[in-house]
Structure 1
Amino acid sequence: MLFQCIRRVTDPVESREMIEDESTGSSLWMWQNQRIQRLTVTPSPIHKVSKVGTYRNLSVHEPSDWILFETSPNFESILTATVKSGYERAVVVRDKGLEDGVERVIFGRNLTDFQVKMTFFDALWWAMGTEKTFQLDRFVQVDIDDVFVGAQGTRIVEEDVRILIQSQKSFGKYVENFRFMLGFSGSYFRNGDDSEDRGDEFLVEKAPEFVWFPHMWRHNHAHEHNFTYLEAIMTQNRIFAKNMNLPVDYPYAIAPQHDGVFPVHEQMFDAWKKVWNVSVTATEEYPHFKPPTARKGFIHSEIHVLPRQTCGLYTHTQRFDEYPDGFDKVIQSIQGGDLFFTILFNPISIFMTHQQNYAHDRLALYTFENLFRFLKCWTTIRLKWQDPVSSAKLYFQKFPEERIPLWTNPCTDPRHRAILPPSFNCTRKTLPDLLILGPQKTGSTALGSFLTLHPNVTQNTPVPGSFEEVQFFGGKNYLRGVEWYMSNFPNTSTVIFEKSATYFDNPSAAKQAATLIPHAKLIVILQNPSQRAYSWFQHLLAHKDPTAVSSGSLLSILENSTTSSELKVKQRCLSGGKYVHHLDKWLEHFSLQHIHFVDADELKREPAKVLFTISKWLDLPDFEFDAHIRFSESKGFSCRLIEGKTKCLGESKGRKYEPMTDELKRKLDETFQLDNSALFKFLRKNRLQIPEWLEEAVRVTA
């Protein structure tokens, strides 16, 4: 589908305009400021979701601002408007491509009209999609939360249960295998007046008619409790379900108010798995409550979290005349509004309702019956119900990129902040202001150690198994969650930083870092990539990497790699030196003003000068780094001077080895030629300092 440059030619006699394609000369007559009476979906191969032949008569109050097109052998109407005179003209046309071989879809109306919006969806499918990408099946799940919870006078009675069973059967005409799913907190059973208590009893008698899932025993807020307490109240609810013969057939649970799902309360996840063997849940809070169209899923601790949708019905919406903003808002949502497109645009929709919505005026039954009818009338989609486990499997097959969550800072979202466990303290500063990205073997450890000399700077506490590095973003530690990450940082400094040289060339690190600490500053160290690659290979040899040792040399790895282990070593040696390739990913999420570049050679020669520049960039008070850094003749590099004593990095740092051969240097320089050229152009374009080694590398290859 193409959108082309056009020019208009006015015909004063017909009060119309002609659109002319400047490249092909093809033309299309257009009428502006038209009032239409009917809108019809016209037969066309474009339509996939829109049901051909459906039409609606528009209100006489519809504004006369429609743009319509004249059809011809070259232009086929996809969505047709009928005007007052009875003539039919197109709102959306398909250029068949008979003149230039390029097919186009041209819209004369924006997407505020639901039929035009559906047609746009059809056009996208036609232009880009496949049967595998865009399927007609839509799975719908309606959860009724808190079936026993509610104040007297708001709860369901026996007649409501009978109507609920009848409606479930009726909905089966629109939704294949439809079942209501009922969530329970057993402590509130028979907690209403006499008629409501009988409603509870009758609902339990009819329990096999429905699918059941657990909440908590007393609608408890998970974030307020530890594992032991959560296990106890979940066990009470499980005993209640067993005594009442409630068929809890699937490992699905919903936390009251979605508390503990996101932000994750690890102890609730653990209790869920132990008591109920939960593997699926849903929430409206990930990544944030608003906008609802941006809700996603994730998997954490082997529990699949699906996005959950609201439908405008809450515990207080019990009667038609009590609906916020009037019940017309519900009608608009059903008839081509938010509810309609929620199902249309999502392969799986899980809706949250409450038992109060099925009492009194039974707003939920009205809402979903009319929604299902409207979908059946206007679309070709196939509505189905399936169990939550099957939905979770399907969801993450379709959206595998969502399996790993993107952690956000819960302290910046008021809704998330309100449901944090006590271990989270948002009054403390527990996230870093600065990341030293690396890459590896560029002097990042030395830079970090020098930076901690400043009294207003603190690094993360050491992490067992990874030396001084947290290695959170893009690594295994990321799955340990935000609370674990925060626990690695003190609360005492103007600037807190962490240095993980694995971040720079990790494909996931940039997005994950930007989601959690979007305002952080970044440092990238620019080392000659040939020297960096050779240094990394020497590092592998020193650690007796079997592949590096057996290969004999880096040159052999570069020229003769065939096995997966050899190719992995080659990739690890070369990847970090492809600076612009990796910078592109970081610049998708951070502005260039938040990134500071350090020349590795200058850091080695004049560390105090480099540290002074960084401290100014971080708005830190002046500090005499010269007085706290001393060059060690025996080590061959600079060390920290603390209380008159020289503190150097360990034996693994600044390791001495034979210089690389001329043949290897030529090979590496040739390998990095294009990458160095791209880095040179990037730095020059952005008026950034160009390291001497890069100037030389570009000059030699020019």
Structure 2
Amino acid sequence: MNMSPSNYIYHEEAGLLPRAKGFCCRRFSKTKILGLLCFGALLLFLLTLSSPDLSPKDNYGGKRQLLPNVVGLFGPANKPGRGGKFNTYIQSNIPVHKKTDLRQRLPQCLIIGVKKAGTGAMVQYLKLHPDIVIADKELNFFDYERNFKLGFDYYKTLMPPSYEGQITMEKTSNYFHNKDTEWRVYSMNTSMKMILLVREPIARAVSDYLQRKQKDKSNKELTPSFEELIIRQKNGKINEGYPGIRPSFYYKHMVRWLKYFPLTQIHIVDGDNLVRNPYEEVHAVEKFLGLPHLITPDRFVFSDKKGFYCMSIDGVNGTRQEQCLSKGKGRKHPDVDKRVMEMLTDLFKPLNEQFYNLIGRKFNW
């Protein structure tokens, strides 16, 4: 074999490669290297074609980072038996013949808000239905960017396991009014169903204020009054940027959601009526989800002590026991300054009318 330097691209005499003995000192011909380069370029081209676009433009012309396609994430995953993780989730009221394919699934329905309109009560009521499983806490997956970036596989691990035929749900009451949540939900599932609870907007804002004050345990007594927070001192106008009032702008938020989802996929619950007649509102949700009406009127028992409806749940040996919402529910609202009430009424009246026209439904606000 001719081992002259002319058979190689580089010459040892040129000092480009150190002298060595054996295989390591052999050099590749120009033809072989050219072939390898062509193969690498072809492979890179094919990978580029198959890679998803992670930053498509949205309706506003900006770029948004989408997560990878979720086709397949709805398939089998996390089968039961992994360290007994699922045992605490298994519902006892499921017929034996329906207990099949227990696994974690991405939600098919979200309760998207609004805060202080009865979302917590709705979760407890829907848990009475054997065909519904709901995550135990608010996950803030779609409204917190740091959570959303963790991906849909991560999100699925937060879901309670369900049997085949059950609907998995999650409730985060901030989803509705937080920008970018709607397109993130759409990027996961375009056929997602949403449940939206609304309430008279001023009462909702006051209730929001009371909850914020209650949570601020260290400075609760120093918390400014509702009027002080809602009115700007500089010009005496409504502070529309106050976090406690923003969720009440139903029309503005609904416009965003309807850019991605048809109204047929969003069921609107009258939060005020949920307090007065929970059975009626829960019955409508069952219909929206296409479920049999298994939450019967006798499941709702009015408590004179609490001043609102509690649930009648199954106890031991076929008995029933009363279960009420937490003591934080049903707080008495303070009287709001008359002038401030007039200003809030003037602010919300045109927005409420626009909301009615948008959804084709009126409320007694």
TM-score norm. by structure 1 comes to 0.39
CA 1:296/1:544 → structure 2, altered by over 3 Å: closer, same or farther? Answer: closer
Q: How does 1:296-445 map to 2 (within 5 A)?
A: 296-297=54-55, 401-402=63-64, 404-411=65-72, 430-445=105-120
Deviation per residue, 1:8-41 (Å, 9 max, x gap): xxxxxxxxxxxxxxxxxxxxxxxxxxxxxxxxxx
Letter in 2 for 1:408: N
Query: Which of 44, 51, 54 lines up with 1:285 in the alignment?
Result: 51
Look up the match of 1:603.
Answer: 274
Query: Which of 492, 510, 533 lines up with 2:182 in the alignment?
Result: 510
- Offset of 1:503 from its aligned partner? 0.3
Letter in 1 for 2:197: I
Query: Which of 473, 477, 480 lines up with 2:147 in the alignment?
Result: 477
Look up the match of 1:560.
Answer: 232
Q: How does 1:244-259 map to 2 (within 5 A)?
A: none
Where 1:652 maps in the other structure, the secondary structure is coil
Q: Percent identity?
A: 22
- Offset of 1:428 from its aligned partner? 5.2
- Kept in 2, the 8 Å contact 1:525–1:599? The answer is yes
Alignment of 1:525 onto 2:197: yes
C-alpha distance in structure 2 between counterparts of 1:160 and 1:632, whole Å = 93
Look up the match of 1:631.
Answer: 302
- Offset of 1:513 from its aligned partner? 0.3
C-alpha distance in structure 2 between counterparts of 1:159 and 1:471, whole Å = 65
Q: How does 1:562-601 map to 2 (within 5 A)?
A: 570-601=241-272
Letter in 2 for 1:401: K
Query: Which of 645, 650, 655 lines up with 2:326 in the alignment?
Result: 650
CA 1:407/1:549 → structure 2, altered by over 3 Å: closer, same or farther? Answer: farther
- Kept in 2, the 8 Å contact 1:431–1:517? The answer is no
- Kept in 2, the 8 Å contact 1:431–1:496? The answer is yes
TM-score norm. by structure 2 comes to 0.71
Deviation per residue, 1:257-281 (Å, 9 max, x gap): 97xxxxxxxxxxxxxxxxxxxxxxx
Aligned pairs, number:
305
- Kept in 1, the 8 Å contact 2:113–2:176? The answer is yes
Look up the match of 1:60.
Answer: none
Deviation per residue, 1:160-200 (Å, 9 max, x gap): 989xxxxxxxxxxxxxxxxxxxxxxxxxxx9xxxx9x8359
- Kept in 2, the 8 Å contact 1:504–1:582? The answer is yes
- Kept in 2, the 8 Å contact 1:540–1:548? The answer is no
C-alpha distance in structure 2 between counterparts of 1:559 and 1:572, whole Å = 13
CA 1:549/1:584 → structure 2, altered by over 3 Å: closer, same or farther? Answer: farther
C-alpha distance in structure 2 between counterparts of 1:160 and 1:666, whole Å = 90
CA 1:511/1:548 → structure 2, altered by over 3 Å: closer, same or farther? Answer: farther
Query: Which of 672, 682, 686 lines up with 2:358 in the alignment?
Result: 682
C-alpha distance in structure 1 between counterparts of 2:107 and 2:288, whole Å = 16
Letter in 2 for 1:470: L
- Kept in 1, the 8 Å contact 2:69–2:188? The answer is yes
CA 1:669/1:551 → structure 2, altered by over 3 Å: closer, same or farther? Answer: farther
Deviation per residue, 1:580-630 (Å, 9 max, x gap): 111111111111111111111111100011111111121111214312222
C-alpha distance in structure 2 between counterparts of 1:665 and 1:609, whole Å = 30
- Offset of 1:531 from its aligned partner? 0.6
CA 1:423/1:457 → structure 2, altered by over 3 Å: closer, same or farther? Answer: closer
- Offset of 1:524 from its aligned partner? 1.2
- Offset of 1:457 from its aligned partner? 0.9
C-alpha distance in structure 1 between counterparts of 2:222 and 2:295, whole Å = 47
- Kept in 2, the 8 Å contact 1:640–1:646? The answer is yes
- Offset of 1:664 from its aligned partner? 3.1
Where 1:645 maps in the other structure, the secondary structure is strand
Deviation per residue, 1:610-654 (Å, 9 max, x gap): 111111121111214312222222222222221211122222332
CA 1:548/1:518 → structure 2, altered by over 3 Å: closer, same or farther? Answer: farther
- The CA RMSD over aligned residues, in Å, is 4.0
CA 1:412/1:497 → structure 2, altered by over 3 Å: closer, same or farther? Answer: closer
CA 1:449/1:561 → structure 2, altered by over 3 Å: closer, same or farther? Answer: farther
Where 1:541 maps in the other structure, the secondary structure is helix
Query: What 5-or-longer segments of structure 2 have no aligned partner?
Result: 1-5, 11-22, 81-100, 315-319
C-alpha distance in structure 2 between counterparts of 1:530 and 1:494, whole Å = 37
Look up the match of 1:323.
Answer: none
- Kept in 2, the 8 Å contact 1:611–1:625? The answer is no
Letter in 2 for 1:411: G
- Kept in 1, the 8 Å contact 2:111–2:173? The answer is yes
Where 2:149 maps in the other structure, the secondary structure is helix
Deviation per residue, 1:52-90 (Å, 9 max, x gap): xxxxxxxxxxxxxxxxxxxxxxxxxxxxxxxxxxxxxxx
C-alpha distance in structure 2 between counterparts of 1:442 and 1:670, whole Å = 21
CA 1:285/1:640 → structure 2, altered by over 3 Å: closer, same or farther? Answer: farther
C-alpha distance in structure 2 between counterparts of 1:637 and 1:159, whole Å = 92
C-alpha distance in structure 2 between counterparts of 1:456 and 1:160, whole Å = 73
Alignment of 1:446 onto 2:121: yes
C-alpha distance in structure 1 between counterparts of 2:211 and 2:358, whole Å = 30
Where 1:432 maps in the other structure, the secondary structure is coil
Alignment of 1:487 onto 2:166: no
Look up the match of 1:149.
Answer: none
Per chain length, whose mean CA-contact separation is higher, i.e. which structure has more relative contact order (CA < 8 Å, sep 6+)? 2
Letter in 2 for 1:556: E
Query: Max radius of gyration: which structure?
Result: 1
Look up the match of 1:330.
Answer: none
- Offset of 1:527 from its aligned partner? 0.6
C-alpha distance in structure 2 between counterparts of 1:535 and 1:283, whole Å = 52
Query: What 5-or-longer segments of structure 1 have no aligned partner?
Result: 1-157, 163-189, 204-209, 214-253, 259-281, 287-294, 299-398, 463-467, 695-702
C-alpha distance in structure 2 between counterparts of 1:633 and 1:518, whole Å = 44
- Kept in 2, the 8 Å contact 1:459–1:496? The answer is yes
- Offset of 1:159 from its aligned partner? 9.0
Where 1:631 maps in the other structure, the secondary structure is strand
Query: Which of 437, 456, 459 lines up with 2:131 in the alignment?
Result: 456
Letter in 2 for 1:296: L
Look up the match of 1:110.
Answer: none
CA 1:495/1:666 → structure 2, altered by over 3 Å: closer, same or farther? Answer: same
Look up the match of 2:283.
Answer: 612
- Offset of 1:427 from its aligned partner? 10
C-alpha distance in structure 2 between counterparts of 1:561 and 1:548, whole Å = 21
C-alpha distance in structure 2 between counterparts of 1:401 and 1:548, whole Å = 42
C-alpha distance in structure 2 between counterparts of 1:458 and 1:160, whole Å = 69
- Offset of 1:458 from its aligned partner? 0.8
Look up the match of 2:97.
Answer: none
C-alpha distance in structure 2 between counterparts of 1:535 and 1:410, whole Å = 41
C-alpha distance in structure 1 between counterparts of 2:346 and 2:216, whole Å = 28
C-alpha distance in structure 2 between counterparts of 1:625 and 1:296, whole Å = 47
- Kept in 2, the 8 Å contact 1:536–1:573? The answer is yes
